Amino acid sequence: MSYTIQLLEADAIPTAVIRERVPASELARFVPAACGEVWTFIKAAGLPKPGRHMALYLDPQGWVEVGAEVGEPFTGNGRVHSSQLPAGRIATTTHFGPYGGLGKAHAAIREWCAQNDRPHAGVCWEIYDHWDASWNTDSSRIRTDVFYLLEDR
């Protein structure tokens, strides 16, 4: 799959998340479990405008925030926290296909950043499109948007 990289300005987006340090080998288990737990919290708390699921990768040591977009900041419960996706200049692309292939989209953005002298700030995130039943039979249609925050110039 070839990736088209776009350079955009992103606004901060409020999120409901579970923040945890997770080894890379556990992300495939942790991300869907945390998304489900956060979604249950959002519904029980009656938070307005719940949106798409997301995973924000904060640093190379494995700190992540996983959950969903929400309409506004809120008071958490000790496990689920109010947070936000970063604002600023970003490089982004869209991945179509199973989540196991997302590494290729990340690699494409990092390569683009290196080739275009646009260092990334070490923070990246994925936003997962709402699940569509057709994806059960055609996983090539699964959509995930990938974002890298760029360093200020």
CATH number, domain with residue 143: 3.20.80.10
Q: What is the pLDDT of residue 88?
A: 97
Tokens of 56: 């924000």
- Per the CB < 8 A criterion, the answer to whether 2 and 109 are in contact is no
- Per the CB < 8 A criterion, the answer to whether 109 and 27 are in contact is no
pLDDT band at 32 (very low <50, low <70, confident <90, very high): very high
pTM recorded for the entire structure: 0.95
Q: Is residue 56 part of a domain?
A: yes
Q: Is residue 134 part of a domain?
A: yes
- Per the CB < 8 A criterion, the answer to whether 18 and 79 are in contact is yes
Domain that holds residue 93: 6-150
Domain total in the chain: 1
Q: Is residue 129 part of a domain?
A: yes
- Per the CB < 8 A criterion, the answer to whether 122 and 59 are in contact is yes
Q: What is the pLDDT of residue 59?
A: 92
Res 97 pLDDT > 80: yes
Tokens 């936003």 found at:
127
Residue 130 or 64, more confident: 64
Res 75 pLDDT > 90: yes
Tokens 């008071």 found at:
75
Read off the amino acid at residue 152: D
Q: Is residue 115 part of a domain?
A: yes
CA 110/CA 91 separation, integer angstroms: 9
- Per the CB < 8 A criterion, the answer to whether 55 and 64 are in contact is yes
Res 153 pLDDT > 80: no
Q: Is residue 1 part of a domain?
A: no
Q: What is the pLDDT of residue 48?
A: 86
